[in-house]
Structure 1
Amino acid sequence: MVVATEHTTAGERATDPPPARQGTGTGIGKAPAPAARTGVRRSRTRAGVLLLVPFLALFTWVYVLPIGFALYQSLFRQERSGLGLEAPERVFAGLDNYGRVLTDDAVISGVGRVLLFGVVQVPVMLGLALLLALLLDSAVVRFAGFFKLAFFLPYAVPGVIAAILWAFLYLPSFSPLRVALDIDFLAPGTVLWSTANVVTWSWTGYNMIIIYTALQAVPRELYEAARMDGASPLRINLSIKIPLVRPAIVLTGLFSLIGSLQLFNEPSVIRTITTNVTSTYTPAMAAYQAAFGANDYHYAAAIAVLLALTTCVLSFLFFKLTERRAR
């Protein structure tokens, strides 16, 4: 009886769960104390701040400080006393420079010109970039690497050099295009679109690479499933590829919109071969003319600040519009 009792007790002990492991002083099996969690959280926050310091320093130096300095300069103006023989005196002008900008017909005309430029040129350029990216992503194209390099090569040419190359093609005495197409590329009604052609030639390959990279991230299983369901290549492009690369298209559209508002290099070069491009043809050219042509840096700063605000507002509206259409 004693042996059976001992056997039963041992069996019951065998089925019991093992007792909780006691702490041995090493911290194994114990939840961290609140003080320890706070210390870990602080160390992670400190590490994150240290990683952000280089970016914040560079961002402040090349972006925040120039904008702040432009804001400061835009609040003053230069005044000369007497016959103008004395050194000019800088006086506080408040918002007078901004009032001048808003009533300057040349600046307002330049803003309207670049907005028209962006409305027409940006969709055409992004449409060509999307078409080229879809062609390179298709299975029927051979030597995709060669064509990818060929389409991207114009972006490697600096904007000023590209404008000079196309300027020779626009000149009546040199251009074979003028003879073949019988078009005056430097006429008042066509010089803006001649400039748009240079920009499109230079930047289509860059935008194509961004969209093509987004296409490469799409799982190929989606295409195979669509083909098994009987979808044509056109339907796959319209229903799968284009909707999935919409963020890349929106990104390139935003960059192109900002570039249109900052248009400077191409019209400045074309201005050397025609009188139909003035020194205030775009807002950026107007700011340059005010600063280095008229030595009115305060007025130029006001133009730059208003141009930056316009860019921010239009970029925000562009994001809202694309987000609403995506929904």
Structure 2
Amino acid sequence: KARRKDKDASSGGAGGQEEPKMYLESTVLECTIPESRLRDLVDLPEGLDYNEWLASHTLAFFDHINLLYGTVSEFCTMSGCPDMTGPGNRQYLWFDEKGKKCKVAAPQYIDYVMTFTQKTVNDESLFPTKFEREFPSSFESLVKKIHGLLLHVLAHLYHAHFREMVLLQLHGHLHSIFAHFTLFNARFNLVDPKDAVVLQDLAVALGLCPPAENANGSPAASSTAPSSSSTVAAASGADEDSGAADAASCSAAAPMDVSLSPSVTQRSVVPSGIEAPAVSMATTTAGSVVPAQ
């Protein structure tokens, strides 16, 4: 079961406080795509198959997030990022082929995510591209697993590499991808709110959803306040997390702006050239163990 545990006051800086979140500063909150435009492109188009809508967006999300990570991958090293972490000192663990939780460095974790996703979307039995092929009955569940893993990558980019994104002037693109990813997932309930809450403060800052409220109806304290560390292990459930319900209130989706995408054929926007390591299992935010194809 995913668990939250407090670290000693000496960890995570003085008093256990997390460093200020650079991505919440007003000077770097701009998006390359207006949020209003994303909201105008919310619903599933009339006459379009729901699974096709999920598939095309999942491929675009994978492509864009993979491309953005590639721009800062040289800074994400085994020594510089020995743990796969996100905001709030959240740590993501991986399940090995025996179902044992293991801690891996961020570049290895992200390599596992990208490898699993690419192998999945390239499998015609799971992500069909031919007209006569049908989507499997479990397709939505598979999309949820992929989106959960991609959220971990986004969380790490914001937590550990946002400064490099700003220096490369790519933070606007990152925000736009996050905004669309958040709105799309909220519209179709594709990510567990307990997992989405890790970047809830950013979603509020970008105007994607209303701020959390206290029991008395007043706005909650700033989301930049320090929080205890948490460990997210792939498991059958998760503990209650304050703000999770508000993560679900972000309204709906829009198609991804494809200005960053390379030329592709058919529906697929999967970048080529990713060499797959020997990975037998992948874990998801829902906690199930997914055999690699």
Q: TM-score, normalised by structure 1?
A: 0.21
**Greater C-alpha Rg:** 1
Higher helix fraction (1 or 2)? 1
> Larger strand proportion, structure 1 or 2?
2
Higher RCO (Cα < 8 Å, 6 or more apart): 2
